[in-house]
């Protein structure tokens, strides 16, 4: 495959991952607001936000690493 095609495919993949992570952060934020003080629901929503942020961070780091490697090809 051409180097440009690889970059395009990876941009689509990482863009999708980032969009899904932001969607999950938004959904978890809404769940947190709507938990009405229920400790179990609040904890689940907080964990969802934390996991989404960790996933987003990993996706950003992976994108940087992949672009660095593909740039060397």
At residue 45's C-alpha, the angle toward residues 43 and 48, to 5°, is 110
Confidence of residue 1 (pLDDT cuts 50, 70, 90): low
Question: In the predicted model, what is the mean pLDDT of the chain?
Answer: 89
Phi, psi of 36 (to 5 degrees): 55, 35
Higher local confidence (pLDDT), 26 or 70: 26
pLDDT tens for 43-64 read 999 999 999 999 899 988 988 8
Residue of 42, 21, 47, 22 whose CA lies nearest to 32: 42
pLDDT above 90: residue 28 = yes
| pTM score | 0.78
pLDDT above 70: residue 34 = yes
């Amino acid at each position: 495959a051409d180097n440009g095609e690889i970059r395009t495919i990876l941009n689509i993949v990482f863009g999708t991952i980032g969009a899904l992570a932001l969607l999950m952060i938004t959904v978890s934020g809404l769940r947190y607001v709507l938990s009405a003080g229920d400790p179990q629901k609040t904890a689940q929503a907080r964990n969802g936000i934390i996991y989404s942020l960790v996933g987003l961070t990993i996706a950003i780091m992976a994108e940087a690493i992949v672009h660095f490697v593909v740039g060397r090809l």
